[in-house]
């Protein structure tokens, strides 16, 4: 039933598919993030407790939730690469890592910039903040491991194992605000019950969360394409592309 | 529109520094990531083209000797 997927493990097919998908992801990501950000910054109502400082939420929450989602994506790809030896999966994991690191940095930075006016401090060593910082280090570890081996098959294996072991950190981040007392507030978006947030704040937030997901998708495609070319430098179709570019 | 004027909007109810710092750093880091990611493919292809050129030169010098 899923056999049609198999040819896409072939580097050339994967490259062509990514090329085709990229404009859609790019267009949708820009549309969503532009809508969500303008709505959130200018049109969403002011919070009765936090005033306008809460508007940081429209990047903080998308960045934070997508930093974890991207990690799960990366770890899944790494797992597929390790178990079934599908190289395209290894390249996907390598493509996601730097994006995840930047998104995690944004979650941490916007959190600090929101914490200062609301909590009176940029940073506290509590469970939520510390575990998110660990996530950043996990991403950096994966990037560093993948970069340290000349043999990229070996590099992907080493980085993949770290990525998979690091998955333990994801539930810790997610439930840290429930398991330990924290300055950080618990989540206000509920999937199974009604969210504890006014809808005119919730909609722009959800739009930006989708937008961040699409943006991570688009950037993953861009980096995945470059990774395919780098790992297949000896293939005739890549050499042709290189020569066509060199002629310019 | 939640704000009465553009100046009001920039002021963010007194939280201008924190809000614009958060948004500024976020978009600056995203912009950097996007630019670096987009340049990656070109760099890879240039690298490969250089390698091919090097191989060609090696081949030529070898055939010249014999």
- Each residue's pLDDT tens digit, B19-43: 999 999 999 999 999 999 999 999 9
Q: What percent of chain A has pLDDT over 70?
A: 97
Residue pairs between chains A and B whose CB atoms are closer than 8 Å: 113
pLDDT at A200 (0 to 100): 86
- Chain B: nearest CA to A137, how far in angstroms? 17
Residue A126 has pLDDT above 80, yes or no: yes
Residue A35 neighbours by CB distance under 10 Å: 16
Residue A237's nearest CA partner among A5, A6, A10 is A10
Single pTM value for the model:
0.92
Q: Which of B9, B18, B22 sits opposite A59 (nearest CB)?
A: B22
What single string gives the DSSP state of each residue in A34-64? HHHHHIIIIISPPBTTTBGGGGGHHHHHHHH
The predicted pLDDT at position B4 comes to 85
What tokens were used for A11? Answer: 């580097």
Asked whether residue A68 carries a pLDDT value surpassing 80, the answer given is yes
Contact between chains at B18 and A53 (C-beta distance less than 8 A): yes
Q: Is the pLDDT of residue A2 over 90?
A: no
Beta-carbon separation of A52 and B13 below 8 A: yes
Q: Confidence band (pLDDT; 50, 70, 90) for A182?
A: confident
Interface residue ranges in chain A relative to chain B, Cβ cutoff 8 Å: 41-46, 51-53, 55-56, 59-60, 63, 98-99, 102, 105-106, 109-110, 113-114, 116-117, 215, 219, 222-223, 225-226, 229-230, 233, 238-239, 241-243, 245-246
Please determine, for residue A248, whether its predicted confidence score (pLDDT) is greater than 60: no
Across the interface, of A45, A99, A113, the residue whose CB is closest to B18 is A113
Average model confidence (pLDDT) across chain A? 92
Tens digit of each residue's pLDDT (9 = 90 or more) over A219-237 = 999 999 999 999 999 899 9
Q: How confident is the model at residue A90 (pLDDT cuts 50, 70, 90)?
A: very high
| pLDDT of A83 | 95
In the prediction, which pLDDT does B43 show? 92
Asked if the model's pLDDT at residue A203 lies above 80, the reply is: yes
Q: Which residue of B has its CA nearest to A95?
A: B37
- Residues of chain B whose beta carbon is less than 8 angstroms from a beta carbon of chain A are 1-3, 9, 12-15, 18-19, 21-23, 25-26, 29-30, 32-34, 37-38, 40-53
Is residue A178 pLDDT above 90, yes or no? no
Nearest to A223 by CA among A77, A98, A103, A106: A98
Q: Which of A55, A95, A119 to mutate to test the interface with B (most CBs of B within 10 A)?
A: A55
Instruction: Tell if the CB–CB gap between B53 and A44 is shorter than 8 Å.
Output: no
Predicted-complex ipTM score: 0.89
Average confidence (pLDDT) over B11-18? 90
Residues of B in contact with A99 (CB under 8 A): 33, 37
Q: Count CB-CB contacts under 10 A for residue A139.
A: 27
Instruction: For residues B52 and A3, give the distance between their C-alpha atoms in angstroms, rounded to a whole number.
Output: 36
Highest mean pLDDT among A73-82, A113-122, B46-55: A73-82
Interface test with B, best of A67, A97, A102, A212 (most B CBs within 10 A): A102
The arithmetic mean of pLDDT across residues A89-110, rounded, is: 96
Picking from A25, A190, A60, the residue whose alpha carbon sits closest to that of residue B25 is A60
**Hey, are the CB atoms on A219 and B51 less than 8 Å from each other?**
no
Structure confidence at residue A76 (pLDDT)? 97
Q: In Å, what is the CA distance from A119 to each residue of A166, A184, A233?
A: 29, 9, 52
């Amino acid at each position: 039933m899923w056999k049609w997927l198999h040819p896409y493990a072939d580097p050339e097919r994967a490259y062509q598919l990514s090329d085709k998908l990229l404009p859609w992801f790019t267009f949708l990501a820009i549309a969503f993030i532009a809508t969500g950000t303008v709505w959130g910054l200018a049109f969403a109502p002011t919070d009765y407790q936090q005033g306008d400082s809460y508007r940081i939420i429209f990047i903080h929450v998308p960045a934070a939730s997508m930093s974890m989602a991207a990690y799960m994506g990366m770890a899944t790809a790494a797992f597929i690469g390790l178990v079934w030896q599908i190289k395209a999966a290894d390249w996907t994991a390598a493509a996601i890592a730097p994006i995840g690191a930047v998104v995690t940095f944004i979650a941490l930075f916007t959190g600090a910039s929101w914490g200062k006016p609301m909590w009176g401090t940029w940073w506290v060593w509590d469970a939520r903040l510390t575990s998110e910082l660990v996530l950043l280090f996990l991403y950096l570890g994966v990037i560093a491991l993948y970069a340290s081996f000349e043999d990229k098959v070996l590099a992907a294996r080493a980085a993949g194992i770290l990525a998979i072991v690091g998955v333990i950190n994801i539930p810790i981040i997610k439930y840290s605000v429930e398991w330990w007392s924290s300055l950080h507030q618990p989540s206000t978006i509920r999937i199974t019950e009604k969210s504890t947030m006014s809808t005119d704040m919730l909609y722009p937030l959800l739009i930006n969360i989708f937008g961040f997901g699409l943006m991570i998708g688009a950037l993953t495609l861009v980096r995945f394409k470059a990774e395919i070319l780098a790992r297949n430098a000896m293939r005739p179709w890549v050499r042709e592309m290189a020569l066509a570019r060199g002629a310019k | 529109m939640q704000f009465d004027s553009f100046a009001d909007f920039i002021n963010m109810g007194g939280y201008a520094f924190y809000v614009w710092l958060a948004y500024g750093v976020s978009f600056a880091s995203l912009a950097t990531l996007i630019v670096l990611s987009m340049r990656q493919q070109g760099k890879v292809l240039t690298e490969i083209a250089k390698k091919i050129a090097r191989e060609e030169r090696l081949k030529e010098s070898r055939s010249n000797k014999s």
